[in-house]
Every structure is written in C-alpha cells, then in structure tokens.
Chain A
Amino acid sequence: MEHRPIHLDESPIRFEEWRRRLPNWLQRFLPSGGGSHEDHHGKGMFGFTVFLLSESIIFLSFIFTYVVLRLNTTNWLPPGISGPELSTLVIINTVVLLSSSFVIQPAENALKRNQLSKFRWLWLITIAMGIYFLIGLLIEWKNLDFKLTTGLVGSTFYLLTGFHGLHVLAGVVLQIIMLIRSFIPGNYNQTHFGTSATTLFWHFVDVVWVFLFSLLYLWRA
C-alpha cells in the first residue's frame, strides 16, 4: 500500500488546513484525505465514537419522552407514592460510578505505557465499582414503593435507569473480556483499540448517568 503525502485539496472549505490546526488528540478522529498508515487506532476509534453518538440519541429520545410527559402532567406522582428518593444509597452509588471514570483512565494510560500489572489492578477495581453500582441499583429498585406499571413515574423511572443499567452491565462485561485478554501474551502489543473503546464507553455511561441523575432525582415534583 502506498504511503503518499496528501494531494491537492480541491475542497472549497480547505478541510486539510483546518484539520492541521486542531489539537493532536482531536486530529486522531479526523482523517486526512487518503488515510495515513501510522494511526492504527484511527478508524476503529472513529467508528466507535460515531456509534456512541448514535447511542446517545436513543437516550435522548427516552429523556425527551420523560421531560415532555412530566411537564404536561399535573399530578406526576400517584397518591401515596413518593417517587424516586435521593437516598444515601443512591448518592454513594453515583459517587462510585462517577469516580470509576477516574480509575479506568489511569488504567488505560498504564496499558499504553506497557505497565501490564498496574493496568490489570486498576482495571479490576473499575470492574468492582461497576458491579457495585449494579447491585446498588437492584437494591434500590427492590426498596422503592412503585413498580414499572405504577403510572408515568414508574414507566419513565424504570425505563431510564434500566436502560442505563443495561449499558453499565455491557461496560462491565467488556471490561472483563479485556481483562482476560490481557493474559494472552502479546495481545496489546499492536493495538489498544479494545481497551480504548471500552474506556470511552465507560466515560459515556458515566456522562449519561449525570444527566439521568439530575433529571430523576434532583427534579423534585
């Protein structure tokens, strides 16, 4: 395959010049016209990022539904129901989930510097934090005074937290797979696409939780 430099850019917006002015980490996502051989990460992370943008639209559609229903309903909580509670359990769960982003990132960085042992330990802690969140979610569900079918509050709450929880589960599963693969000799010598994508996915899951947390628990009836 040829490693030719970029040819004349006939684009009216001179895309190539703009691209070169961007910071390095952003340039990774925007390829040059012809494909550079060096960024082996390039298309994988680009594709995965694009996929995450799509996923966020699904969440957006659920959030849109929740917000519109809530704004247009006078009695959001059925009589006798107190709705989602901002309990200690929920607060601790949130803290655990959000700080796990700050554990997974150093793990990923360690892998890039080939510090396999450090990577594995930090990665394992992240998995534990994820599982903690999931168990906390299930306990919270069990203790609530409303079900999926209890009015609009039930429909929206369980759908949003359940769909998010599914993504947390998926993230944990991906992390476990990556951890197992780290025991295959030479697995991470050439590409870290698997762990990079899993890390990005985990950050995505956390950002979504920030929105859901605010909309479900901080928005009082």
Chain B
Amino acid sequence: MRDVSSHARVFALIAAFALFSAVCPPPASRADGKLRIMTATTDLASLAQEIGGDRVDVESIARGYQDPHFVEAKPSFLLKLRHADLLIVVGLELEIGWLPPLISQSTNPKIQVGAPGYFDASRFAKILEIPTGQVTRAEGDVHPLGNPHYWLDPENGLRIAKGIQNKLSEMRPGDAAYFAQRYDSFEHRLKEADEKWLAEMKPYAGRKVVTYHRSWPNFAEHFHLDVVGYVEPRPGIPPSPQHTVELIGQMKRDGVKVILVEPYFDLKTPNAIARDTGAKVVVLMPSVGGEKEITDYFKLFDYDIDKLKQAFDTTK
C-alpha cells in the first residue's frame, strides 16, 4: 500500500510544480517597450546608454570599484538577467569566474551564449597582449585571448559603441535612425574630448609608470605612457618580497615616479615601494562608477587624466 502512495506523491509533486509554473508565467515584456540591457561592467553600461538613450534601460552587474575578475554570482543578478533583452559582456574570459553560471541559470533564452541577445564587446575592439606561443599559468592568471581591459582606450569605446548601435538597430529597426543619431552625437563628442585629453597628456608623453595589475595597456598606448613594470609579479599573483625588491631597483634605475593602482587593490605594497623610490601612488579608476563623480565614459577619462597630470606635475 505504502509504495502506491509514495508513487502517487512523486507524481503529485511534479504535477503541482508544473501547474504552479503554468499559472505564474514570467512577467511579459515591459509596457513602455524599452529594451532591457544588462552589461557585465559599468563602462559597457555607459556606452550602451549613450547609444540607447531613452529607448533602453541599462544596468551593470559589476560596480565600477569592483575587481571585474572576481564578481560573485549572486542570485539577485539572476532576477535582472532573466528579463534582459540584451547582455553585453567584456569577453576574453574576464568574466569566466562568475558569468557562465549566471547565464545558464537565468532561464532566459535570449541571452544565452550565441543567442542574438548575447553581445561580446571584445569582438569590436582592438585587443592587445594576445599571447603567442605557449600559454601556461606559470605566467599567472593569463588571458589566452588577450588583455580584457581594452575599454580604457577611447577609440575602442567608439568601436564598441558602433557595435552596440548596429546591434540595437537590428533589435529595434524602428529606432535605427534614433540610434544612428545618438551614435553620431557620441562620436562627435568623444572625438572632441579625446583631442582635449591627448593635448592634456601630450607634455607627459613617454613617461614611465608602474601599474599594479595589467589593466592599462590600451590606456597607456593611447596616451603614450610607458608601462615598465607591475606590482604583481604575475597577473593575479599577490606581490612577493623578492619581486618588490626587483621592482624598486628597476624603478630607481629607470626613474619611474608614478605607481598606478586600481581601486580594488591593497595600497600597502605600492605605498612601501613609493616610500623607497620617492614615487607617487595614484589610485586610477579603470571603470565608470569607480568614484561617485565618474558618472559616464567621458568623466572616466576626465578623472584619470586629471589624476595623472597632478601626479606627473608633482613628481618631475
């Protein structure tokens, strides 16, 4: 007798669950007709906002002051991802530690890898530091597809924006003209701003700097900085005493006076190096939202260039 009831219960449970699922279907798309865009990082959110204007709702998963390699796959992100029409990711395995489970658990077919709503921004950008030859983790947490911090070059910002414009126009052909106009305006403003930034940075061209992590190759290339060393002995490996001593020697030899640190790294080692070499530690923001006043992609460069200028001026 008992097993009949057990069997019945199993099926009752399944039936109840199926019924429950059927009676509360996922909420339909929003009444205001805005495209819902989720991005992995705040920079991509800012670019998407520039192009999408008031026709889109954009939200980023990571915060600007957070290390984008180590975001937690919190279930609260699932709630946002499941209604998204478009997911924009940095790619190049930057989000490999947290995004794949979020995507597969989101139960949102639109944003699965390869679906039309999955947008890998790295496909549009100029990528640096693509390793050639053998790639092993003896070099630390290397990104075999290239350095994923590529958004820190305004030209790449423009390229990604173009990609986003095409994608949005494809998803909302009716608004294509609007997106094109937004892109043109963005392009115009960004070029104007970039000319200003380049002019501001021109006196410091070729200055040698040390950075904590390899977050700045695109930035350094665009603004003609010379990154000669890293506080981390290898990407993703915490500073070691031996490497720090070597770095101090190198900085003294090369006359390096500025150490750039991302906001999510501990300042203890950089400060110690600075004391020994007379260099200045600058906390530079790699992303929009790293500080309250950095509200968009333009302000990100405004802020960083301002900080750099101050540092270079005081460390002649």
Q: Do A and B come from one complex?
A: no
Give chain A's interface residues, CB within 8 Å of chain B.
none
Give chain B's interface residues, CB within 8 Å of chain A.
none
